[in-house]
């Protein structure tokens, strides 16, 4: 069932249509999504925002989405698959995720002009470069992703002598755990290929291992269009070693631009999201 709401958030002169729906892929995998489009005109580009989970960042009320609505972009917000164990086993692989998003883009691209922009947070950040290389994306914004995979960053973060407590608590809560050692053991068990399929929330063990086997840096090396690799200066989940390597890597790639912004990568903090929005707004329509 299609739910349609008409609103005007950023400006009373910018009415939009908000649609919540579910698309069934060719492989009969359901993927729910929200699409926000200008009410009276075709969106000047389709902006796909990929996130780890719907509640990770309150995107609908964020300065970023308000800016995109005000500038008459069409915004696609795909939900993350794998809500239950059956979905995790059957659907939740990197290759399936890419294919599902590509199909969803094709399904919805008639509501915007041909231009396509990708913005990724969390798991979505690691997905963005690969997706950009397999679509006609003109630009890609990768937010706070390390050069390898999210599993590698989990491992590096958890094995520091002192892990940043707020991020540590977020990871424990997200995985319904209370003990740090249990989280360490689960991450290491996935890396080691132990039997099982759902040690961590948000994806199957195979899903996490598939990301690790296909590190993001390989997709960055193939980038044909601009990739803006944005780091919050005090974001704790990317190690200093990997951050240094990321700068060296970006310096040698013609289409990858590394940008530092202030903050801890908490984009539910309005000031941090405003700074990120300022950076994106300065680049999204540039040649």
Examine residue 210 and state whether it is found in any structural domain, yes or no: no
Tens digits of residue pLDDT in 261-285: 999 999 999 999 999 999 999 999 8
The two three-digit tokens of residue 162, written as one number:
């002192």
Measure the N-to-C terminal CA separation of the chain; round to a whole number of Å: 39
Range of the domain at 83: 3-148+223-281
Examine residue 123 and state whether it is found in any structural domain, yes or no: yes
Helices 205-213 and 180-192: angle between axes, nearest 10 degrees: 60
Tens digits of residue pLDDT in 141-193: 999 999 999 999 999 999 987 888 988 998 998 888 999 999 999 999 999 98
Examine residue 257 and state whether it is found in any structural domain, yes or no: yes
Examine residue 165 and state whether it is found in any structural domain, yes or no: no
Residue 201: other Cβ atoms inside 10 A: 15
Examine residue 206 and state whether it is found in any structural domain, yes or no: no
Examine residue 104 and state whether it is found in any structural domain, yes or no: yes
Any idea what the CATH number is for the domain that residue 100 is in?
3.40.50.1820
Residue 33: other Cβ atoms inside 10 A: 18
Examine residue 103 and state whether it is found in any structural domain, yes or no: yes
Q: How many domains does the chain have?
A: 1
As a whole number, mean pLDDT of residues 75-80 equals 88
- How sure is the predictor about 10, in pLDDT bands with cuts at 50, 70 and 90? very low
Examine residue 44 and state whether it is found in any structural domain, yes or no: yes
Residues with Cβ within 8 Å of 153's Cβ and at least 6 positions away in sequence, in order, are 146, 237, 238, 239, 242
């Amino acid at each position: 069932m299609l739910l349609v709401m008409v609103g005007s958030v950023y400006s009373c002169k910018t009415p939009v249509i908000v649609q919540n729906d579910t698309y069934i892929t060719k492989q009969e995998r359901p993927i729910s999504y929200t699409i926000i489009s200008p009410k009276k005109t075709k969106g000047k580009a389709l902006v796909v925002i990929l996130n780890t989970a719907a509640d990770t960042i309150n995107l609908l009320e964020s300065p970023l989405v308000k800016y995109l609505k005000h500038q008459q972009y069409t915004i696609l917000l795909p939900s993350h698959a794998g809500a239950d164990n059956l979905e995790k086993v059957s659907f939740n692989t990197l290759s399936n995720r890419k294919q599902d998003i590509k199909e969803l883009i094709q399904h919805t691209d008639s509501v915007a002009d041909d231009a396509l922009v990708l913005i990724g947070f969390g798991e979505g950040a690691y997905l963005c470069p690969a997706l950009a290389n397999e679509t006609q994306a003109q630009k890609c914004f990768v937010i706070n992703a390390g050069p390898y995979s999210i599993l590698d960053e989990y491992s590096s973060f958890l094995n520091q002598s002192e892990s940043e407590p707020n991020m540590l608590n977020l990871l424990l809560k997200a995985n319904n755990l209370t003990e740090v050692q249990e989280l360490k053991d689960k991450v290491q068990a996935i890396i080691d290929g132990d039997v099982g399929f759902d040690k961590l929330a948000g994806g199957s063990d195979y899903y996490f291992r598939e990301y690790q086997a296909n590190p993001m840096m390989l997709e960055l090396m193939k980038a044909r269009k601009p990739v803006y690799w944005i780091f919050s200066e005090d974001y704790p989940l990317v190690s200093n070693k990997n951050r240094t390597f990321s700068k060296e890597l970006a310096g040698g790639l013609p289409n990858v631009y590394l940008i530092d912004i202030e903050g801890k990568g908490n984009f539910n903090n309005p000031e941090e999201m405003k700074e990120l929005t300022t950076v994106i707004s300065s680049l999204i329509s540039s040649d």
